[in-house]
Amino acid sequence: MEKKVRVRFAPSPTGGLHLGGVRTALFNYLFAKKHNGTFILRVEDTDQTRFVAGAEEYITSCLDWCGLTPDESPEQGGAFGPYRQSERKSTYKQYADQLIADGYAYYAFDTPEELEAKRKAVPNFTYGLANRLEMRNSLSLTAEEVNVLLANHTPYVVRIKMPADELVSFTDLIRGYVSFDTNLVDDKVLLKADGMPTYHLAVVADDRAMEISHVFRGEEWLPSAPIHILLWRYLGWETEMPQWVHLPLILKPDGNGKLSKRDGDRLGFPVYAQNWTDPKTGDLTRGFKELGFMPEAFVNLLAMQGWNDGTDQELFTLAELIDKFSVERISKAGAKFDFEKAKWYNHEWIKNATAKKLLPFVKDSFTAEGMVLNDDVRLEQVIDLIKDRCNLLTDFVPQSSYFFIAPEVYDLASVKPKWTPEKAAFFEAYTLDVKDGPAAAELEEKFKELAGAHNFKPGELMLPLRIMLVGGKFGPGVFDIAVNLGAAETIKRIHKAIAAFN
């Protein structure tokens, strides 16, 4: 019988959620939903020294914003809990003990100071096959010495004993056949001195306990794969081992290395899904959400980082991504992150969204600027007029605030050189033609007729009218603006501007 698809996103609650992490969650989610499987959030908080208060809630918030709600999680619960590794602490030592008893792991009593001295003395020091017998551990000490140390509660860690001269091989669903020489892999710590497991032991024990069928994770975990495969084998679980999917990295825009928060700071774009405030320093790192990205656009652009469906299609709903997703279409090569392209995705999603869908985002943006707008019908009309001009949701305020607040400052440099008393007379006359009710096309027709009667070409007068209504050379169709403002406001702005131009 085919194994039921169960996948997990397993972040550490140590800070903001990098867009690479969200993409890992997304690919897990898409694969699970494509195969009627289960998407699990498991919080890997075994490293208590790096734990950051609020980070778990932040991760959950980011996933909810993206629409990637887990089927099982610390919040949701489920039949395979608990879903925080710290709450599973009591389950790990038995596996470490079993590995020691079977000769696959050993106690290491080296102090942090001894290890630090070794690192200083030996360049690129790694603890393993070449030097483990020079260190203070249960392989170099007698059984009696080990028993005395244990009886005296001497602090220790448990390390895996990597075998000599073996080839550990597996098939990765993206990369195909992969193999590692065990002589080149060090003896990683499995159980720390505080009794907490490291990632290596915990991830294997938890994946087995939660019946995980496929492991999607970043390619930076490839060097750890031989350790994990050996643990599956040594613990007698090899037939239950999940299939491996090591995802390509998201690279800096120039392609040189993995995209980091520092790169985002340097280049002026976010790399976190949502704003993250460091509780220790108070430092704020901006996120895609607060910058003005729609969640649908953020998910869409992340899906295209290292995956495509084999066609030229670039815009996908989440439902379409689920339908089209396949591991075979994930690239082996890293994907260069292009922020301009990211904004293009957002622009397309804004452009294609209904005004009703955009309304709450836009109202919130205005509220944040101290403008409370209650006329939803009119605001939806404004949204429809300007959404084609917005790359970010935060663009709506600067692109449309003139609909609600008359300009105080005008781009006089664009008007004054060609401003004449005759033009002032034309606009005074035009105010008599501005009435509530007519469509933009009718207002424009009246404008052109009157221009001809005053011996002007309409083009000579369009820019002054625009600057009268909005203050500068921007905005949608000027007669659309006039219709939205209404006759009284349009006339008031024309009179005010004539005085300023004169």
Residue 445 token pair: 């027709």
Tell me which of 261, 336, 341, 446 is the catalytic residue. 261
Residue 454 token pair: 């005053």
Residue 248 token pair: 């390509």
Rounded Cα distance, 138 and 191, in Å: 15
Q: What is the largest CA-CA distance in the chain?
A: 111
- Name the amino acid, one letter, at 97: D
Burial 425-445 (b: 16+ CB within 10 A, else e): ebbeebeeebeeebebeebbe
**Is 261 one of the annotated active-site residues of the chain?**
yes
Rounded Cα distance, 290 and 408, in Å: 29
The torsion angles phi and psi of 95, rounded to 5 degrees, stand at: -75, -40
The residue behind tokens 């917005």 is 390
- Name the amino acid, one letter, at 249: L
The residue behind tokens 């034309």 is 426
The residue behind tokens 């007068």 is 461
Rounded Cα distance, 408 and 402, in Å: 10
- Name the amino acid, one letter, at 171: T
- Gyration radius (Cα) of the chain, Å: 32
Query: Are 387 and 358 within 8 A, CB to CB?
Result: yes
Q: What is the DSSP string of 162-180?
A: PPSS-EEEEEETTTEEEEE
Could you tell me how far CA 15 lies from the centroid of its own chain? 13
Query: Are 467 and 418 within 8 A, CB to CB?
Result: no
DSSP three-state, residue 332: coil
Positions of E strands within 229-334: 243-247, 250-251, 276-277, 284-285
The residue behind tokens 């390390």 is 159
Residues recognised as catalytic: 261
